Amino acid sequence: MSDTASLHHHLRGTAASAGVAVGRAVVVHPAWSEDAELPPPRGGVDIETERFRNAQRVVADELEGVADRAREESPTLSSILDTHQMIVTDPVLSSDIVERIASGVSSEAAIVHEFERQRRTLLASTNSMFRDRVHDLDHMKHQLLVALRTGAVAPRRDGGSIVVAEIVSPHDMLSDHQLGVSGYVMKFGGIDAHASIIARDFGIPTVVGVHDAMTAIRDGDMVIVDGTQGIVICNPDDATRSRYEEICRQQQLLRDSLDSGSTGPVHTVDGCRITLEANIDVPDQVPVAVRLGAEGVGLVRTEMMISSLNAIPSTDDQIAWYGRICQGANTNAVTFRVFDLGSDKVDTGASYVEDNPALGLRGIRFLLAQPEILREQIMALLHVAGNHSVRCMLPMISTLDELLKAREIIDECRQDFIRRHGNCPDLPLGIMIETPAAALSADALSAYADFFSIGTNDLTQYTLAVDRTNGLVSDVIDSLHPAVLRLISMTVSAARGAGIPVTVCGEMAAQAGALDLLVGLGVSGVSVSSFQLHDVRRRIGQVNCSEARAMVHTALACRTAAEVVECLRQYDESARGGMA
């Protein structure tokens, strides 16, 4: 709903990451693709050529600056940036673009068509090294197009900016975090899409599914993001703005006070021990998580490292990255999930196109198709496991065969490690239970896994056949659906039978009401975003384990998610009645 054209108007969306942010909008428009309508030339050939040369200079200068910094931090990143520089300044590519401009098209059209031609050539190559360059090429095309439009490499995101975009990639979110971006408004995206999860991990207020975000908000508008209520207020009046700025101040005070919050083992009110760990995307988040009371790291999304580098990192870069995470965790155990690539995650720059990537070469399937990537990652994890308590976890297992094949590769890595170093550290191997097939065959899988971690985001997506990234069906996706609860229950029984721990690292663990269900179902621990640790710790302390178990019997017999919600409401009411 919008009141007036540019003054104080409200937009509604889905609350994806709680909290409030107030700042200036940076609207990020998507770059053109080959089949989109490209703009006509703005002037004659000389003017268009000059526009292209300027854009080229802007991108090359920026790359040079970043590459200097990267040389000290990461050899892999630095070599990628060198490749980007080579592409942007390549004399043959430049003269081909200038030649196209001379034929009367705009700089945009010349860039898009020439880069697409190069792309097709690379994809047709039999050499995988060349095919791998496609991703770099796409990235540079995007940067040149942005530079043409704005005169800068990317929109001016900085401390306090509110980024408004159709969807934000994990790669951009990682750099936004370093820049201090304070809020997101996205046109697309569901509550459990990875963009939303990363926003929660960084504690950045976010509203997704704001359909008219790209037209109703203009660059430089003053914007309030209310990620708790799912509201965006554009150009607020003075009273509204001061009210929200006050909420921001209170929010900051609360965060500062949490920093010195409670730590140590967590128990329910009747003494059941529940482990409380944190989900992590980048090393910087680990000390924060430990300060906020995490007993360990229950999930490191290692694919985020690929997102930062835009490439599969070398073994040395991996060892450095994992080492930083372990150092931040002090003596606490860290669970590294091997790369979960594909679907809405990280762009692998793959040479194939999948019509249905969520059901395609994702997670363990991708790694088994490219076992060298898995091998290098396991070798890097074995390196850090020598000095820290480290666990390894496999994503998206759906068959026993996948688990056995992965184990075989990991065993070979162990042998290789022993040959090189004379011994091999302990590296417990667990699996994510996030497909219905894995939950339904959890008893078979439990014989070959040291632990289970239930990924309720994907388990819900695949059980209800509903895309977690698609805002149009966000009312269907519901982890409280009895079908999901029954799969969790089967998983817990199988784990108990095998005597292995079973935890939950999906977003359900922090969902209001769901914690009692999970404890009642018998999970031994949860892993949540850092900024949810405090609240989840407090709520675990209020759960009565035996009452939660009794409630779960009723919940499992429900026919719909609505009936489960009603069951939780009654349970909550009687618990509060009991306390009064």
- Helix (H/G/I), strand (E/B), else coil: 564: helix
For ligand PEP, give the closer residue by CB, 144 or 300: 300
The nearest distance, CB 343 to ligand PEP, in angstroms, is 8
Residue partners of 549: CB distance under 8 A and separation at least 6: 520, 522
Distance CA(362)–CA(194), nearest Å, equals 14
- The answer to whether residue 317 forms part of the interface with Mg ion (CB under 5 A) is no
Decide if 28 contacts 155 (C-beta within 8 A). Answer: yes
- The one of ligand PEP, Mg ion, none whose footprint includes residue 277, by CB under 5 to 8 A per kind, is none
For ligand PEP, give the closer residue by CB, 48 or 458: 458
The nearest distance, CB 303 to ligand PEP, in angstroms, is 8
Distance CA(273)–CA(265), nearest Å, equals 8
Footprint of ligand PEP on this chain (CB under 6 A)?
197, 299, 301, 340, 434, 455-458, 505-506
The structure tokens 């999304």 sit at 301
For Mg ion, give the closer residue by CB, 413 or 514: 514
- Give 186's strand partners: 165
For Mg ion, give the closer residue by CB, 455 or 482: 455
* Residue numbers 428-447 binding Mg ion by CB under 5 A: 434
Of positions 62, 192, 221, 458, contacts Mg ion by CB under 5 A: 458
- The one of Mg ion, ligand PEP, none whose footprint includes residue 201, by CB under 5 to 8 A per kind, is none
The nearest distance, CB 506 to Mg ion, in angstroms, is 7
Distance CA(500)–CA(231), nearest Å, equals 43
- The one of Mg ion, ligand PEP, none whose footprint includes residue 301, by CB under 5 to 8 A per kind, is ligand PEP
Distance CA(27)–CA(575), nearest Å, equals 47
The nearest distance, CB 163 to ligand PEP, in angstroms, is 21
Which amino acid makes up residue 525? G
- The answer to whether residue 344 forms part of the interface with Mg ion (CB under 5 A) is no
For ligand PEP, give the closer residue by CB, 108 or 340: 340
- The one of ligand PEP, Mg ion, none whose footprint includes residue 144, by CB under 5 to 8 A per kind, is none
For Mg ion, give the closer residue by CB, 183 or 342: 342
- The one of ligand PEP, Mg ion, none whose footprint includes residue 547, by CB under 5 to 8 A per kind, is none
- The one of ligand PEP, Mg ion, none whose footprint includes residue 489, by CB under 5 to 8 A per kind, is none
- The one of Mg ion, ligand PEP, none whose footprint includes residue 146, by CB under 5 to 8 A per kind, is none
For ligand PEP, give the closer residue by CB, 88 or 197: 197
Q: What is the DSSP string of 403-455?
A: HHHHHHHHHHHHHHHHHHHS------EEEEE-SHHHHHTHHHHHTT-SEEEE-
Nearest CA-CA partner of 513 in 567, 459, 467, 443 = 567
Residue 138 CA: distances (Å) to CA of 31, 91, 141, 308, 383? 10, 18, 5, 16, 34
Nearest CA-CA partner of 306 in 321, 284, 327 = 321
Which amino acid makes up residue 434? E
- The answer to whether residue 455 forms part of the interface with Mg ion (CB under 5 A) is yes
For Mg ion, give the closer residue by CB, 51 or 301: 301
- The one of Mg ion, ligand PEP, none whose footprint includes residue 197, by CB under 5 to 8 A per kind, is ligand PEP
- The one of Mg ion, ligand PEP, none whose footprint includes residue 524, by CB under 5 to 8 A per kind, is none
For ligand PEP, give the closer residue by CB, 214 or 509: 509
Q: Which residue is nearest to Mg ion (CB)?
A: 458
Length of the chain: 580
Decide if 64 contacts 85 (C-beta within 8 A). Answer: yes
Report the b/e string of 21-56 with b at 16+ CB within 10 A.
bbbebbbbeebbeeeeebeebeeeeeebbebbeebb
Applying CB under 5 A, the site for Mg ion has a residue count of: 3
Report the b/e string of 399-409 with b at 16+ CB within 10 A.
beebbebbeee
The nearest distance, CB 453 to Mg ion, in angstroms, is 10
The nearest distance, CB 301 to ligand PEP, in angstroms, is 5
The nearest distance, CB 432 to ligand PEP, in angstroms, is 7
| Contact footprint for Mg ion (CB under 5 A) | 434, 455, 458
